[in-house]
Amino acid sequence: MNKKIIISNLSLIFEEKNKILSNINLNIQDSEINCILGPSGCGKTTLLRAIAGFEDVSSGSILKDGVCITNSVENMPVANRNMGMVFQDYALFPNMDVKTNIEFGLKNHSDLEKENRVNYLLDLVNLPEHKNKFPHELSGGEQQRIALIRALAPSPDIILMDEPFSNIDQDIKEELVSDVRDLLKELSITSIIVTHDQNEAFNIADQVAIMNKGVIQQIGTPYDIYHKPANKFVAGFIGLGTFLPVRKVNDNSFEIPLGLLNNERIKNDLTKFENLEMLIRPDDIIHNDSSPKKAVILEKQFRGAEFLYKLLYNNEYSILCYAPSHHNHAIGDSIGIELDIKHYVIFER
């Protein structure tokens, strides 16, 4: 797979002390949807703006198609980068109608070409009837799609999106996310999407980069990031889960409070370290009424098809467990549980 963008050792230091980005290394794959995911204030938007050319960097470089577009000395002007950008507040020009907004980036086109391009793009997002409306007459979702096709209009190499779904109502968000994914895939355009919402990232991305405090924590597919988190931050940030201590029984066997660990690879790894703990996801625990191991229900959340139970095992360890919706137990009840771990995620305490 081609690397569309190569970011190496990129750092951005603000006013001497404040390190906003530190030593970022990230490859953006061609024609893929790349997500930068992290909590607010982690520097993800700054990274995106550095790629777009809005920020000057302190050190490191960004290469696009093998050409350096940003380093500490030079910063190719935004207009020359051939990137489209969608902003969190969409930034549609309020004084122009939809058509004029989309045409804005189309230079050196005849009127007919512009007209055709606008119509084509509006058809792509199923909004042809809004051509002559003004931004304030559109709903949030409509504005978002117009902002996207406005960015796509000049046929950019890459599309950058900054929290594109954060102002969208929950009920239409999922549909919109998958519509946008289909559109980006259909055009097979390289895209980088910044978000703080992991569900959004999982729904849309081919590759996810997790960021915290200006540092990239892990890069991988959504599946790998969920099941093989690289460090404790990622494990805690992505998905639900609790940590259980890992105890050395003897040189060859280890156990966690719920049972023995009998995976050869793990055994080899573990002998080198002490003071370990293991990530237990709610899907690692199976509710089974006949199991001899019992845990007390502390809290429960009804989620439609299933319950999420927060349990206390052995009066000491709290764990999470999904159970089918018809297994409706009361808080304080003891229920039977079993371990069913597919991915062993172990960190030093």
The verdict on 107 binding other proteins (CB under 8 A) reads yes
Residue selected from 18, 40, 95, 315 as contacting other proteins according to rule CB under 8 A = 95
The verdict on 93 binding other proteins (CB under 8 A) reads yes
Toward other proteins, which CB reaches closer, 57 or 160? Answer: 160
Least distance (Å) between residue 96 CB and other proteins:
8
Size of the site for other proteins (CB under 8 A): 27
Residue span binding other proteins (CB under 8 A) among the ranges 18-26, 102-110, 303-311, 317-325: 102-110
Residue selected from 167, 203, 231, 318 as contacting other proteins according to rule CB under 8 A = 167
The verdict on 78 binding other proteins (CB under 8 A) reads yes
Task: Give the integer Cα–Cα distance in Å for 343 and 226.
Answer: 10
Q: What angle do CA 128, 133, 134 make, to 5 degrees?
A: 135
Residue selected from 20, 42, 69, 83 as contacting other proteins according to rule CB under 8 A = 83
The verdict on 44 binding other proteins (CB under 8 A) reads no
Toward other proteins, which CB reaches closer, 122 or 235? Answer: 122
Residue span binding other proteins (CB under 8 A) among the ranges 27-35, 103-111, 239-247, 249-257: 103-111
129-148 footprint of other proteins as x/- string (CB under 8 A): ------------------x-
Site residues for other proteins per CB under 8 A: 49, 52, 54, 78-79, 83-85, 87-89, 91-96, 104-105, 107, 147, 150-151, 153-154, 160, 167
